[in-house]
Amino acid sequence: MDERERFNAGMKKRRKILGDAWVDRSIAKKNDFNGEFQDLITRYAWGEIWTRPGIDDRTRRLIVLASMIALSRWEEFRMHTRAALVEGKLTKDDIKEIILQQAIYCGVPAANTAIHHAEETFAEIDNSR
């Protein structure tokens, strides 16, 4: 696969996982400073890793959410929580189970923060409907 094909496959997967509206907003913010980074993540995160056949999208979503809790990357946790609920057919109970699992492996403070971010994300989704 050449870089253009990888980019196109990545953009297709990125749109499937995050939704068109999110990706369109991200693309609209592309500029001379962040453009190369946007291309990089589209080609490699989405086009190389997310398109691999070894793990299904649901499992990848769970891994990403758990990783974001472990790393305290709350903006990414919220983005992927929203995408998992709106685009990925995960439920609030699925999110709760991830957070409970991470309470043991990442610590209660991380899980407590995740609960708050998840609840705020749930409310944002509910208010947008």
Contact assessment for residue 3 and residue 43, using Cβ atoms and an 8 Å cutoff: yes
- Give yes or no for residue 128 having a pLDDT over 90: no
Contact assessment for residue 58 and residue 17, using Cβ atoms and an 8 Å cutoff: no
Average pLDDT of the segment spanning 94-117:
98
Give the pLDDT confidence of 16-63 residue by residue, as tens digits.
Answer: 999 999 999 999 999 999 999 999 999 999 999 999 999 999 999 999
Taking residue 52's Cβ as centre, other Cβ atoms within 10 Å add up to 8
Give the pLDDT confidence of 86-103 residue by residue, as tens digits.
Answer: 998 899 999 999 999 999
**pLDDT attached to residue 129:** 75
Contact assessment for residue 72 and residue 8, using Cβ atoms and an 8 Å cutoff: no
Structural domains in the chain plus CATH codes: 1-54 (no CATH), 55-129 (1.20.1290.10)
pTM: 0.91
The span from the CA of 126 to the CA of 129, in Å, is: 6
Place of tokens 């996982």: 17
- The DSSP result for 42-95, as a single string, is IIIIIIIITT-TTS-HHHHHHHHHHHHHHHT-HHHHHHHHHHHHHTS---HHHH
